[in-house]
């Protein structure tokens, strides 16, 4: 069984990741409830979560993803009258950009939602996604909506050379675990290269940052599944170069050094200050790892399994094997994985003599540590397929986090090491 969000969820969370934008769901409340919960959990905007504070029609006690609440009659007779009423009420409450998205059932009705938007004179602040892809992988829905958003906003460049000190982060979403901590960590690391971050597609950014994104010196693609097409759009439209780390997402010391070097090379910047920070973290972690190894013999030789998208699974597998000496038993990619990162991962496993590990389900092995989402880890533990588990993707088991965390950058490498060593210590 695969627990993985689909394109419908990816589409909704793409726009919900913008600070001053909101989604209107044209569909029944059953399609709203989970997405409203998830978007508010991943990116809370309201100071209060008292359901009585959100009793407006179409919100149903939740602050996010208002919906038209379609019923059986609407699927037979059409929903334009209800949509017209919902659009007026929601637009009066939400002051920013609005994206209207159809639920799977509503997309079959074929109502002309654009006509209602034009009648209301809201073409500038409202656009429609008729079919987000639904059961396709989440990353495809995310990218499709991101591209539709860019076209709707009519992003322009000032026709001046890109700011040598500004870059955009591409391919980060509310679907990524610890996205807020990841944004903070990437800003901190890129500051050692003298760079500031402009727009973040699409996690915690603003419409203004997106509108100004055409003047960035380059786009740093963190997760290609969620950003390759977006980076290509900027390349075609503005000539903006894109940086894809050869080791995938910046997970682990090697992948972070690779990304920093490649950004520095594209922008002709000295990477030494940033690489020095990575070396400091390497030294600090070595002291702890060597002491743990001296009395346990671990982590060298410990086994692991992974279920994740390729841009995360590749750098993690590479780092666990090359840096910690751990052995992979099963690596299974989630649907929608980036094909280039997937091929790099397959070739790496083959070169190291682990051909049988590729595309192997973690439930077929008994590993010391498994890396996956929360529900998958629960199943693996129940079947005795792992002694310890580390959540690296959503959905998660519901742990409430107060401190910002990340698995990316230097801080992310240290957090992973902490969880790995303590996971092995307890087995």
pLDDT digits (tens, 9 = 90+) for 80-135: 999 999 999 999 999 999 999 999 888 878 889 999 999 999 999 999 998 888 88
The reply to whether 126 and 84 lie within a common domain is yes
Write out the DSSP string of 353-394.
T-GGGBT--GGGS-EEEEEEEHHHHHHHHHTTSEEEEEEEES
pLDDT value of position 161: 57
Sign of the four-CA dihedral 252, 257, 260, 263:
negative
Same domain, 172 and 105: no
Tell me, yes or no, whether 171 and 261 share the same domain: yes
Residues 256 and 395 in one domain: no
Return the pLDDT at 252.
97
- What integer pLDDT is reported at residue 177 of this predicted model? 96
At 75 the pLDDT is 79
Phi, psi of 167 (to 5 degrees): -130, 155
Residue 158, domain member (yes or no): no
Are 264 and 382 within one domain? no
Task: Calculate the alpha carbon distances from 160 to 200, 218, 257, 302 in Å.
Answer: 21, 14, 30, 53
- 122 lies in the same domain as 181: no
State the DSSP H helix or E strand holding residue 99, giving kind and residue range, or none if neither: strand 97-102
Helices and strands (DSSP H and E) totals, the chain: 16, 11
312 and 292 in one domain? yes
381 vs 398: CA distance, rounded Å: 17
Using the 3D structure, point to which of 123, 152, 181 is the last residue of a domain. Answer: 152
CATH number at residue 370: 3.40.50.1980
Q: Are residues 349 and 380 in the same domain?
A: yes
Same domain, 121 and 195: no
Residues in the chain, pLDDT under 50: none
Kindly state whether residue 1 falls inside one of the protein's structural domains: no
Residue after which a domain boundary falls, among 92, 120, 152? 152
Final residue of a domain: which of 250, 269, 288? Answer: 269
292 and 219 housed in the same domain: no
pLDDT of residue 356: 97
Domain carrying residue 39: 7-152
Helix (H, G, I), strand (E, B) or coil at 164: strand
Domain count, the chain: 3
For residue 145, which of 220, 59, 153 has the smallest C-alpha distance?
153
**Is 411 a member of any domain?**
yes
Residue 251 lies in a domain: yes
Q: Which two tokens stand for residue 412?
A: 């992310």
Minimal CA–CA distance to 84: which of 104, 113, 108, 124?
113
Domain annotation covers residue 157: no
Provide the token pair at 20: 């001053």
Measured CA to CA, the distance from residue 311 to residue 289 in angstroms comes to: 26
In a domain, 2, yes or no: no
Straight-line distance from the first to the last Cα atom of the chain, in angstroms, rounded to the nearest whole number: 26
**Angstrom distance (rounded) from CA 74 to CA 132:** 21
Query: Does 322 share its domain with 305?
Result: yes
Residues 80 and 207 in one domain: no
For position 2, what pLDDT does the model report?
59
């Amino acid at each position: 069984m695969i627990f993985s969000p689909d394109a419908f969820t990816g589409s909704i969370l793409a726009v919900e990741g913008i600070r001053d934008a909101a989604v209107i769901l044209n569909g029944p409340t059953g399609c709203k409830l989970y997405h409203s919960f998830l978007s508010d959990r991943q990116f809370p905007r309201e100071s209060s979560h008292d359901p009585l504070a959100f009793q407006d029609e179409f919100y149903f006690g939740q602050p996010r993803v208002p919906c038209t609440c379609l019923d059986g009659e609407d699927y037979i007779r059409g929903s334009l009258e209800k949509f017209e009423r919902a659009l007026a009420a929601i637009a009066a409450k939400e002051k920013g950009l609005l994206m209207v998205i159809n639920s799977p059932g509503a997309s079959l009705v074929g109502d002309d939602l654009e006509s209602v938007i034009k009648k209301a004179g809201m073409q500038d602040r409202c656009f429609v996604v008729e079919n987000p892809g639904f059961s396709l992988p989440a990353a495809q829905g995310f990218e499709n909506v991101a591209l539709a958003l860019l076209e709707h906003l009519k992003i322009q460049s000032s026709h001046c050379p890109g700011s040598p000190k500004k870059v955009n982060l591409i391919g980060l979403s509310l679907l990524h675990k610890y996205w807020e901590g990841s944004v903070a960590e990437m800003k901190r690391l890129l500051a050692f290269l003298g760079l500031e971050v402009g727009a973040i597609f699409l996690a915690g950014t603003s419409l203004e940052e997106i509108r100004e994104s055409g003047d960035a010196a380059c786009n740093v693609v963190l997760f290609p599944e969620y950003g390759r097409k977006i980076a290509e759009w900027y390349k075609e439209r503005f000539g903006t170069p894109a940086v894809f780390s050869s080791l995938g997402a910046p997970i682990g010391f090697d992948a972070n050094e690779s990304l920093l070097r490649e950004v520095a090379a594209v922008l002709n910047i000295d990477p030494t200050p940033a690489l020095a920070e990575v070396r400091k973290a390497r030294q600090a972690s070595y002291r702890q790892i060597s002491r743990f190894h001296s009395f346990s013999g671990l982590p060298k030789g410990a086994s692991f399994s992974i279920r994740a998208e390729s841009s995360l699974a590749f750098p993690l597998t590479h780092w666990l094997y090359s840096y910690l000496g751990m052995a992979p038993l099963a690596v299974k990619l989630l649907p929608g994985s980036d094909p280039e990162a997937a091929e790099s991962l397959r070739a790496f496993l083959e070169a190291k003599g682990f051909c049988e590990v590729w595309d192997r389900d973690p439930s077929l092995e008994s590993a010391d540590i498994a890396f996956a989402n929360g529900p998958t880890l629960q199943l693996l533990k129940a079947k005795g397929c792992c002694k310890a588990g580390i959540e690296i993707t959503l959905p998660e088991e519901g742990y409430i986090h107060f401190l910002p965390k990340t698995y990316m950058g230097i801080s992310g490498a240290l957090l992973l090491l902490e969880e790995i060593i303590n996971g092995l210590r307890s087995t």
